Structure 1
Amino acid sequence: MPCTTILVGKKASYDGSTIVARNEDSSNGEFCPKRFVAREAPAAGTVYRSVLSHLEIELPEPGMRYTALPNADLKEGLWEEAGFNERNVGMSATETITSNERVLAADPLVRYDAEAGTPGGIGEEDMVTLVLPYATSARDGVMRLGALLERYGTYEMNGVAFSDADEIWWLETVGGHHWIARRVPDDSYVTMPNQLGIDDFDLDDAFGAQEESLCSADLREWMATNHLDLTIGMRGAHFNPRDTFGSHSDSDHVYNTPRAWAMQRFLNPHAGNWNTAAPAEDFGPESDCLPWCREPERKITIEDVKYVLSLHYQGTPYDPYGSAGTEATRGRYRPIGINRNSQLAVLQLRPYVPAERAALQWVAYGSNAFNALVPLYAGVTETPAYFEDTTTRVTSENFYWANRLVGALADAAYGACLPHVERYQEALTARCAAMVRACDEQGGDLVACNAAIANECRRQTEGLLDKVLYEASMRMRNGFSRSDN
């Protein structure tokens, strides 16, 4: 299963922005080329057709222009993943999550049946395309996606984030047609690996004022009918969805919980003994008690977001590039910054600039251990070719493939290449952020600023590719010099 998410409330971020960030990772053994595009507003009456589930949906109303990160190869559909619409509503979809047998028996997933010709429900391929062009707020995005889930169902368990200038909401699907959503506290951050994450939910609020909680219309009755609530004792309307709807498998302790542990260990280093030798304790990498959200020890920056979404357990016995631990511990847990990162989208809504330039979509391609995160204005009608013109053909002429090449070469000569990569990451992100700041102050054209950022990305990325190619070439095993003898 792919993807890792972090959500940062506006009072927990360094500048009052809401921040939604997610790695899109390809499945094991696959690498998915990505593009960054600006979409025209879809027309009412347009029929959307899903490739994987063979579902057809007529779009009900005129939509809005939006940005997206679709696949370059459309054999499995668009997979638009993350972006902003022209109302500055952000959406990131999806984080694949887990469930259990009781939930899936009570509300089975809606899968495409080729033999019967029965379409499946909606999934990651479809959600951004069907919802983002129409969402007028983060809350409205939740309700629109919830209505689609209740009507068409889904063939997979997913978590989806919505943001606007004031709020972030996190929606989790439950079985084929049910869902819950919770507002991220303004003073907190959320860490989400590939498992159902919400650990406290207020049903009274969801069926009442709906201030912090939303859910499918019949959730309470469906839970009661199927004996799903596992709460012991009197807790009022509060229950733990992770216990009720989530998974509790041994594989979670290898694939999922260590990622939440690594992120929270970095953002709350003094909360407890994160280096406990017993991995299943409250602060260990296999703990089932890590909270869905925490208040950070200090405000969270964009650099922090990039760092935690690039983690491979640095400073622990579990780092596959490290020297600590043993061969058995190094590589024990699934890294966050993994070889099959496809793209990282960080959706930042800044409250201190005019609305037309408030939305920044920070973009990185390829393995996060070796790439750099760069900001691009989302309020545009076109995107730079260096970010958009990704093909299925390998070439160094676009940002995606250049980063893939850098990662593969640098991995093979990690120690020698790391200084080059670290200097590149700092220099490129700093330079591009300074270009955004100058554009804000001067009231510059957004398309022109994005184009200038793309040119800087090309210049610095080609320089890094030259350096890591040299280091990897010097370590080829068939090297020979007369002075060797």
Structure 2
Amino acid sequence: MNNIKKFVLSAITVAIIMPSALACTSVMVGKDASENGSVIISRNEDFSSNNWAKHMKIYPAKAYKEGATITLSTGLNIPAPAKTLRYTAMIDWDGFSYKTPDNGKVYEQRGVNEMNVAMTATNSAEINKRALQADPHTDGIVEQNMVGIVLGQATSAKHAVQILADYIKLYGAGEGYGVQFADLDEAWYMEVGGGHQWIAVRVPDDKYLVIANGLRINGVDLDSKTVMHSEGLFDTVTQNKLLQKPDRHSFNFAKAFGNIGDFYNIDREWNSQKILSPSIKQKTRLKQYPLFLSPDDKISIEDIAQVLRADYKGTELETKGVRPSGVDRNSEAHIIEMYSDMPKELAAVIWQTPSNVKYSPFIPFYNVMKTVPAEYASGTDNYDDKSSWWNFRTLGTLASKSVLNGKYEEVVNETWRDLESQFTTSLPFVNNMLKTMYKQDANLAINFASDYSYGSLQTTLDKASQLKSALMTELTHSTEKKYDPEEFKKISNL
């Protein structure tokens, strides 16, 4: 076998066996801690390859025949609900006939349904050996399948936790992870340790939570109304000695099931909390950081974007920090706002990057959007000039340090920061206009919000295409030979 064939075979094998989201960074914000009173969840989604397009998708409500089943990627068949709710999602390009959410291979990274329940999944987490011996993983529920089966049914954030918990009770979990849920009033964060053990906590209204790729939940009261957990959780931990002295009223789920103190995770947690609560001085590389903190100032979309793009420059970890939040293998990022003071159809706003979080902007659109620009639903793992994901990914490559020492990096970053600033400044005015319009004509307001969303996505793509063309033209000029005056005169006369 020649070297080219070996390389292609190796690449195909890796693509088949490798999980989708290898590492993520997240921020959750209670409604009293956010700048505009919205409940917020957010996440970076990182992948094993720089070339893995994402598609935006709208799933309509669907009815299933009695006795119908849904086949998950693990081969597990689960009963289909009588009907599912409409929801939007961001999915992998290789969703395999993703016209339906029940094909088992979609990888829906985030979504919001028509009942204003939002979900993003997952923050992958490593589970320690002792915990896996006590409660092994199964061929049950994994990241690849969960968003659609939960959002298709959930009527609140807490209900979404229970739906996922019920599936885990029946079928087990195939991996460790953290999942975020939100509705118009509250946010819940859920962690899954072993095959059947899980815990969920309500984010306090005046606090925020940052998550990397380690389990985070610690210091919580298992008997509190703001905590949900698997049946027999405390007994499992006690009997298997997963904690030396387990305490029901200050329970450390992360230590019992995870691997705390991993620099890969805690460096990001420390840095994220430093950005949002700079007045709180914390040492670097503590085993665990506080689960919830109060921000120094109310948290804005710009603040969360800063966290999701952050590196360690200017901090104590500048020369030794492991795995910053913003990395080149990031494939997309999203911030979801849930407004309690907006009409129900217009209450969810999704801020989506079309590609890498460092080199593409957060674009706002309302969950009521009726259609997605075709370019945002195209692209594979090969370059595609028509794909929005690839247009922004190309800009990222042109802006990277590997091309002319990052000559274009500031041009691209300034373009998108200016556009993001326009979006964040104007959206409150758009919201106010929509509320007024809705009182007069609900359908008019809904249609306007849909058109605004479509237009925001399309306009941003147009800017990306124009910027890419300009930079490519400039790049080709950089390869031109520098002629002396006589030679230039000669060739000009040819």
Query: What code does the residue aligned with 2:63 have?
Result: A
Q: Quote how far apart the aligned CAs of 1:333 are.
A: 1.6
**In 1, distance between residues paired with 2:317 and 2:404?**
19
Q: What do residues 288-336 of structure 1 show as CA deviations (whole Å, max 9, x unaligned)? A: 23222211100000011111101122324766xxxxx5xxx4xx52121
Matched with 1:113 is none
Q: For the Cα contact (< 8 Å) 2:95–2:106, is it kept in 1?
A: yes
Q: Quote how far apart the aligned CAs of 1:225 are.
A: 2.1
Matched with 2:243 is 229
TM-score (norm 1): 0.85
**In 2, distance between residues paired with 1:313 and 1:469?**
31
Query: What code does the residue aligned with 1:179 have?
Result: W
CA 266–436 in structure 1, closer or farther in 2 if over 3 Å, else same: closer
Matched with 2:389 is 400
**In 2, distance between residues paired with 1:194 and 1:458?**
31
Q: Is 1:33 matched with 2:53?
A: yes
Please point out which of 332, 335, 346 is paired with 2:335. Answer: 346
After TM superposition, the structure 1 = structure 2 runs for residues 77-226 of structure 1, keeping only pairs within 5 Å, are 77-110=105-138, 120-205=139-224, 211-226=225-240
**In 1, distance between residues paired with 2:469 and 2:409?**
14
Please point out which of 251, 254, 260 is paired with 1:242. Answer: 254
CA 9–363 in structure 1, closer or farther in 2 if over 3 Å, else same: same
Matched with 2:72 is 50
Please point out which of 263, 270, 273 is paired with 1:264. Answer: 273
Q: What do residues 350-377 of structure 1 show as CA deviations (whole Å, max 9, x unaligned)? A: 2232111110111103221211000011
TM-score (norm 2): 0.84
Q: For the Cα contact (< 8 Å) 2:308–2:357, is it kept in 1?
A: yes
Q: Is 1:424 matched with 2:444?
A: no
**In 1, distance between residues paired with 2:404 and 2:269?**
28
Q: For the Cα contact (< 8 Å) 1:339–1:366, is it kept in 2?
A: no
Matched with 1:276 is none
Q: Quote how far apart the aligned CAs of 1:390 are.
A: 3.5
Q: What do residues 372-429 of structure 1 show as CA deviations (whole Å, max 9, x unaligned)? A: 0000111234322232233444223232111110111100246432331232122322
Q: What do residues 258-308 of structure 1 show as CA deviations (whole Å, max 9, x unaligned)? A: 111221111111211xxxxxxxxx421x22232222111000000111111
Matched with 1:64 is 85
Q: For the Cα contact (< 8 Å) 2:33–2:294, is it kept in 1?
A: yes
Displaced runs of 4 or more, over 6 A: none
Q: Is 1:465 matched with 2:468?
A: yes
Q: Quote how far apart the aligned CAs of 1:479 are.
A: 4.9
After TM superposition, the structure 1 = structure 2 runs for residues 282-293 of structure 1, keeping only pairs within 5 Å, are 282-284=282-284, 286-293=285-292
**In 2, distance between residues paired with 1:129 and 1:62?**
12
Q: Quote how far apart the aligned CAs of 1:483 are.
A: 5.2
CA 418–453 in structure 1, closer or farther in 2 if over 3 Å, else same: same
CA 403–219 in structure 1, closer or farther in 2 if over 3 Å, else same: same
Query: What code does the residue aligned with 2:433 have?
Result: E
Aligned residue pairs, count: 442
Q: Quote how far apart the aligned CAs of 1:245 are.
A: 1.6
CA 457–96 in structure 1, closer or farther in 2 if over 3 Å, else same: same
Cα RMSD for the two superposed structures: 2.3
Query: What code does the residue aligned with 2:463 have?
Result: Q
CA 466–262 in structure 1, closer or farther in 2 if over 3 Å, else same: farther
The secondary structure found in structure 1 opposite 2:242 is coil
Q: What do residues 194-222 of structure 1 show as CA deviations (whole Å, max 9, x unaligned)? A: 000112221222xxxxx210001221222
Q: Which runs of 5+ in 2 are unaligned?
A: 1-21, 97-103, 438-444, 488-494
Matched with 1:355 is 344
Q: Which runs of 5+ in 1 are unaligned?
A: 111-119, 206-210, 273-281, 320-324
**In 1, distance between residues paired with 2:405 and 2:471?**
9
**In 2, distance between residues paired with 1:73 and 1:480?**
43
Q: Quote how far apart the aligned CAs of 1:458 are.
A: 1.8
More helix by share: 2
CA 60–318 in structure 1, closer or farther in 2 if over 3 Å, else same: same
CA 384–430 in structure 1, closer or farther in 2 if over 3 Å, else same: farther
Q: For the Cα contact (< 8 Å) 1:44–1:60, is it kept in 2?
A: yes
Q: Quote how far apart the aligned CAs of 1:18 are.
A: 0.4
Q: Quote how far apart the aligned CAs of 1:345 are.
A: 1.6
The secondary structure found in structure 2 opposite 1:264 is helix
The secondary structure found in structure 2 opposite 1:82 is strand
CA 204–454 in structure 1, closer or farther in 2 if over 3 Å, else same: closer
Q: For the Cα contact (< 8 Å) 2:342–2:431, is it kept in 1?
A: no
Bigger Rg over Cα: 2
**In 2, distance between residues paired with 1:299 and 1:291?**
18
With 129-138 and 345-354 compared, the bigger mean Cα shift is at 345-354
Q: Quote how far apart the aligned CAs of 1:183 are.
A: 0.6
Q: For the Cα contact (< 8 Å) 1:420–1:468, is it kept in 2?
A: no
**In 2, distance between residues paired with 1:85 and 1:479?**
53
**In 2, distance between residues paired with 1:471 and 1:307?**
29
Q: Quote how far apart the aligned CAs of 1:343 are.
A: 1.2
Please point out which of 378, 381, 388 is paired with 2:377. Answer: 388
**In 2, distance between residues paired with 1:431 and 1:184?**
30
The secondary structure found in structure 2 opposite 1:422 is helix
Q: For the Cα contact (< 8 Å) 2:50–2:328, is it kept in 1?
A: no
**In 2, distance between residues paired with 1:414 and 1:188?**
41
Q: For the Cα contact (< 8 Å) 1:410–1:468, is it kept in 2?
A: no
Q: What do residues 224-265 of structure 1 show as CA deviations (whole Å, max 9, x unaligned)? A: 221223337xx563222222221046xx21x21111122111
**In 2, distance between residues paired with 1:108 and 1:30?**
32
